[in-house]
Amino acid sequence: MRVRIDPDRCQGHGLCAALHPDVFDLDANGFSVVQHDALDQRGALDPSLLTEVDEAIGTCPEDAIAVVEGSARPTVEGEAR
């Protein structure tokens, strides 16, 4: 599974990065990205971080974060840091 951050929805509130800096960070423009350390060698989400991602999903005011099953392509529509 992977984490998807919808770049059209993300408004840069930064709650995900504030709550779980081990999973999320902000890019140079202030929008959320997924930390490379949160991913395995294939680019999939480390399963031990699913609780943190679920919390971030629940707190995102724009509903920009989702867990997507399937492809191991990394994270965001954009790139992980």
Domain boundaries, the chain: 2-68
Structure tokens at 79: 């790139």
CATH for the stretch 2-68:
3.30.70.20
Higher confidence at residue 73 or residue 13? 13
Phi, psi of 12 (to 5 degrees): 80, 25
Q: What distances in angstroms separate CA 5 from CA 27, 55, 62, 67, one per listed residue? A: 12, 14, 10, 9
Task: Render pLDDT for 10-56 as a digit per residue (tens, 0 to 9).
Answer: 999 999 999 999 999 999 999 999 998 998 888 888 899 999 999 99
Instruction: Give me the DSSP letters along 12-65.
Output: ---HHHHH-TTTEEE-TTS-EEE-GGGB-TTSPBPGGGHHHHHHHHHH-TT--E
